């Protein structure tokens, strides 16, 4: 999840987490109100609405604690101004053995979303790209086998 105790995020990833935290805190207040209303209905032992609201409250509170911990340990990756070498935060365009091009952005593990082209800098794919330059060929070994990529561009 992190290198040491730090968690690396992009600036946009940090912003998304802060927005999610605000939304979750608002939801927590709403769930607390649902719990209070459910209590007013009387017998809590058979009050499904009360039990559902309590579970929702616990889940939401846990998610808030997780995000706050991440924010406390977050270190924002510097904007990549040096486009010569692939590094954390870089967007790299590659071509595989079959001639298909793909674009990947190397992000922190918390932001990884492979279907959106965001891969963790800890992944085997990103680890193979790190430190390489445009035009270089890299071999990526994964449990599924080895694939060669040519780095076509770095943003």
97-134 tens-digit pLDDT = 899 999 999 998 889 999 999 999 999 999 999 999 99
Question: Where along the chain do the CATH 3.10.50.30 domains lie?
Answer: 91-154
In the predicted model, is pLDDT for residue 45 greater than 80?
no
64-73 tens-digit pLDDT = 999 999 999 9
Residue 81 has a pLDDT of 65
Q: What is the CATH architecture assignment of 7-76? A: Orthogonal Bundle (1.10)
Residue 149 has a pLDDT of 96
In the predicted model, is pLDDT for residue 12 greater than 90?
no
91-154 carries CATH number 3.10.50.30: yes
**DSSP class per residue in the chain:** --BTTBEEE-HHHHHHHHHHHHHHHHHHHHHHHHHHHHHHTS-STT-HHHHHHHHHHHHHHHHHHHHHHHHHHEEEPPP----SB--TT-EEEEEETTS-EEEEEEE-GGG-BGGGTEEETTSHHHHHHTT-BTT-EEEEEETTEEEEEEEEEE-
Residue 2 has a pLDDT of 40
Question: Where along the chain do the CATH 1.10.287.180 domains lie?
Answer: 7-76
């Amino acid at each position: 999840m992190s290198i040491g105790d730090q968690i690396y995020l992009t600036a946009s990833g940090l912003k998304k987490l802060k927005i999610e935290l605000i939304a979750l805190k608002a939801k927590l207040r709403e769930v607390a109100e649902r719990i209070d209303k459910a209590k007013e209905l009387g017998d809590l032992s058979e009050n499904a609405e009360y039990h559902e609201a309590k579970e929702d409250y616990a889940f939401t509170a846990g998610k808030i604690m997780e995000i706050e911990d991440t924010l406390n340990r977050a270190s924002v990756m510097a904007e990549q101004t040096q486009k010569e070498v692939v590094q954390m935060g870089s967007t790299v365009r590659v071509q595989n053995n079959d001639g298909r091009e793909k674009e990947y952005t190397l992000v922190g593990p918390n932001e990884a979303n492979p279907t959106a082209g965001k891969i963790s800098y800890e992944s085997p794919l990103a680890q193979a790209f790190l430190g390489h330059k445009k035009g270089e060929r890299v071999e990526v070994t994964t449990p599924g086998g080895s694939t060669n990529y040519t780095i076509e561009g770095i943003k």
